[in-house]
Structure 1
Amino acid sequence: SVISPPASWEGQVRVSGSRAGVPLAGLGFVEQYFGSQNHDFRTMLQSVSTVVLHNVAAVFPFEPTSEHLVDLCVSREFAPVMEGLPTDAFVEQLIKPVRAITDRAGKGWRSMGLLLASAVVGGDPADLEKFTSFPEFLHTGSLIIDDIQDNSDLRRGGPSAHVTFGVPTAINAGTAAYFLGEGITRDHKGLSQTQRLRIYELYFTCLRGAHVGQALDLHGSHHLMPQCLDRNDFTPMWSALLCCHRLKSGLPAAVCARTGAVLGHASAEQEAALGEYFLKLGLAFQILDDVINLQGFGKSLKTKAEDLIEGKITAPVIRAFMTVSSLERNWLWGQFQIDSTQRDISAMVELIQASGAFESCISEANAMVEVAWRAVDSCTADSFAKIALRAFGWFICKVRDY
């Protein structure tokens, strides 16, 4: 499969030595391959992305057959309602806007999570490759709608869907993309009714929760600031931010992992543990993304700190409010209250960095993932997939070079 290609030899080994000057010893798992292989998570994610694109094209083709249109739009039971459907209108209004975003190839880490979660409980990822498009359609739908709400002109190195196809078409196509996972689940061979029902429950839980998360993001947390300043207590603001990140980023990742676990016939304990692990991965991913947005500015990797220019109160900003002096706190809040063109972005970044907020966020993000891993470790057998899953968590949180 895309996770683990065929090996000419595999087995357990005992290893000893050192890494970065730290002595190491223990059991290891070795696979010797014939020919090319994925050497690291970057190449593995690229392989997963290729599989995702192939299955996106299979599920949502530019030249759908009449039978395919029925399956995409309704179901065989309701085929008569499709009589007279202009195929070109369907392609122009629904397929092309979605494919314009999917075909630019995202990172694919949620699809990777689905496959790894299935493999770690004994499932065969090779049988689930069509499901790799499941997270991509869900994510793409949210990106299309997000870009409209944020008035963003660019997505994945190209124009946003609404820029190319117009706002009404993009809204409809982005919303339609949310529901493509249902058809993938419905048509997948070999699923029991219990599995199918559980995947549907997870899917719609994700849709409801993610929309609440987006509502929180749109509403923002500025309204909490006066109370937090008066009481010198920013816990409510931090809690609200974590809730938003859990719903928008953590929950979709958790649902993808739980879906993979269900497809791999996981126990209830295994599904819950894997779901919690990916919930924390998604939350950590977003906290670290908040940090990178500002660290990049400080290290001249970006020309501007977009979050501060847009007036967003993100994880490191809240952590800074928690630690700086009263005078610095009032100055920082004052910067958010003036026009973006008047803000001293560089000074804001310097203050946030000097407060230790970056280190605090990074430490908390890594710690929550480490705690969540313990439950996965205790309820799953040792395997190559488990090693890959463990290393994948480190890669997402600590490398971020993908």
Structure 2
Amino acid sequence: MTPPLMQQSKHTLHWARDLVDPALREAVGRLPEPMAKAVGYQFGWADRHGRPVSGSAGKGLRQALVLLSAEAVGGRAESAVHAAAAVELVHNFSLVHDDIIDGDDTRRHRPTVWASFGVPVATLAGDAMLALAFDVLVSVTSDRTLAAGRALTWALLELVRGQSDDVEFEDRPQVGHDEYMRMVAGKTAALFGCACAVGAAMGGAPADTVGHLRRFGHHLGLAFQMVDDLLGIWGDPAVTGKPTRSDLRSRKKTFPVIMALDSDSGEGRAFAALYRRAEPLDEADLDAAATLIERVGVRERTQAEALRHVELALNCLHAVDPAPGPATELTALAHLVAAREH
């Protein structure tokens, strides 16, 4: 990714955060204090004691997609702020519960919500964010809000299905490519697609345009997850803010893992024997597994597949003849997805 595109993406994400944060903070401020403290911690606004901090927030990619999709179809970003806040709340709900399910104790360079507040509080904080998402969305009543609510509900159901598949796959010796794609379509791509569709709907786009932007988000979500799969094995914890080799430790069936398990090479067979071993994998095992996967050649193939989905996403975007400015920013974010290191 070129430095100008990187800089543009950073500017876009800051712009989106500045627009959406007030709506998020107002909503979270309505929660009881213990929940507000845990949710504020998740959003990176405060430490575990409720003291203000900076630098721990997530990328905010999904909320930016909502706002830019509204602008891309000729609407105003301000008309989609509450929808963007709702999408961001659903996303963070899923992260908090995902960390509990996976037992991950680090996210964004600090302890996860459950590691800081305990599982009961973290579970309730996730539930609170989910309830707030729909409360924020319906706070602006219109026919467009109703359509957005239905889209968000559908995406949430798909997200839960995909997460369920992801957990179930950990205990399976083999997972097929089509099964993986179906899982990722729910776990990650559904909310990306929803973000773009909701933004377009709030911007007043007709149904066919909303559909094109949903598909733009869908392919972008698939690319995002494939890059996430790479980072889960080879990402630098100092950059990603997540535990090293966390996906391998959990025996996740990620894209590179599935391809390595399917490989009939010597390295592929050695990896399969190691990965299917009943005993827990220690640090040496995890390093060996990562080395074997790389020797199979799936690291490059996963990156290439992610780039292919970015191109498919951009084809869907250009099909709606979007407004030039937002189209440029959406294109930059699409390239950021494929080039990101965290």
Range of TM-score over shorter length:
0.7 to 0.9
Matched position secondary structure for 1:379: coil
1:310 is aligned to 2:310 = no
Structure 1 residues 209, 120: CA separation in 2 closer, same or farther (over 3 Å shift)?
Answer: same
User: Which of the numbers 117, 122, 127 marks the counterpart of 1:175?
Assistant: 127
Match of 1:201 in 2: 150
SS at match of 2:204: coil
The corresponding residue for 1:354 is 295
- Mapping for residues 96-245 of structure 1, pairs under 5 Å: 96-102=37-43, 103=45, 104-188=56-140, 191=142, 193=143, 195-225=144-174, 237-245=176-184
Unmatched 5+ residue regions in structure 1? 1-19, 21-37, 65-89, 226-235
Contact 2:100 2:114 in 1 (8 A): yes
Q: Which residue of 2 aligns with 1:54?
A: 22
Instruction: Give 2:261's aligned residue.
Output: 321
Distance 2:248 2:105 in 1: 19
CA positional deviation for 1:388: 1.7
CA-CA distance at 1:224 after TM superposition = 4.6
Equivalent-residue separation in structure 2 for 1:198 and 1:280 (angstroms) = 22
CA contact (8 A) 2:212 2:319 kept: no
Q: 1:347 to 1:160 in 2, by over 3 A?
A: closer
Q: Residue 253 of structure 1: CA displacement?
A: 0.9
**Residue in 2 aligned with 1:345?**
286
Residue type of the alignment partner of 1:96:
K
**Residue aligning to 1:389:** 330
Residue identity matched to 2:91: H
- Measured in 2, the distance between the counterparts of 1:294 and 1:268 equals 39
Assess if the C-alpha contact under 8 Å between 1:101 and 1:155 holds in 2.
no
* CA apart distance, 1:321: 2.8
Counterparts in 2 of 1:92 and 1:394: CA distance versus 1, 3 Å: same
- Change in CA separation of 1:57 and 1:342 when aligned onto 2, cut-off 3 Å: closer
The residue correspondences of 1:278-293 to structure 2 (distance < 5 A) are 278-293=217-232
The 1:323–1:162 alpha-carbon spacing in structure 2 relative to 1, beyond 3 Å, is: closer
Deviation per residue, 1:142-195 (Å, 9 max, x gap): 122112222222332333222333322221221121122222222215x3x2x2
**Distance across 2 between alignment mates of 1:126 and 1:92:** 29
1:145–1:292: structure 2 CA closer, same or farther, 3 Å change rule? closer
More strand by share: 1
Q: Deviations over 1:100-140 (max 9, x none)?
A: 10124110000010011111100111333343322221111
Higher relative contact order (CA 8 A, sep 6+): 2
Matched, 1:92 2:20: no
Letter of the 1:255 counterpart: C
Instruction: Please point out which of 367, 374, 378 is paired with 2:315.
Output: 374
CA distance in 2: counterparts of 1:146 and 1:200, whole angstroms: 23
State the 1:251 CA deviation. 0.3
Q: 1:212 to 1:303 in 2, by over 3 A?
A: closer
Query: Partner amino acid for 2:164?
Result: A
Judge which range, 329-338 or 253-262, deviates more: 329-338
Cα separation, 2, equivalents of 1:250 and 1:328: 31
AA paired with 1:245?
V
Question: Could you tell me whether the CA contact under 8 Å between 1:49 and 1:106 is conserved in 2?
Answer: no
Counterpart in the other structure of 1:333: 272
State the shift of 1:197 in Å. Answer: 2.2
1:382 and 1:153 map into 2 onto residues whose CA distance is 42
CA separation in 2, counterparts of 1:109 and 1:218? 25
C-alpha RMSD over aligned residues: 2.8
Shift of 1:261: 0.6
Shift of 1:342: 7.3
2:52 corresponding residue in structure 1: none
| Partner Cα distance (1:260, 1:250) in 2 | 15
> 1:341, 1:217 → 2: CA distance?
22
Deviation readout 1:75-113 (Å, 9 max, x if unpaired): xxxxxxxxxxxxxxx523432221210124110000010
Work out the number of aligned pairs and report it. Answer: 325
Aligned to 2:50: none
Matched residues in 1 for 2:330 and 2:288: separation?
A: 40
1:271 corresponding residue in structure 2: 210
1:252 aligned to 2:191? yes
Query: Distance between the aligned counterparts of 1:319 and 1:355, measured in 2?
Result: 9
Q: Structure 1 residue 222: deviation in Å?
A: 4.3
Structure-2-length-normalised TM-score: 0.86
The alignment-based identity, stated in percent, is: 25
Partner-residue secondary structure (3-state), 1:97:
helix
Cα distance in 2 for residues equivalent to 1:246 and 1:370: 17
Give 1:351 deviation, angstroms. Answer: 2.3
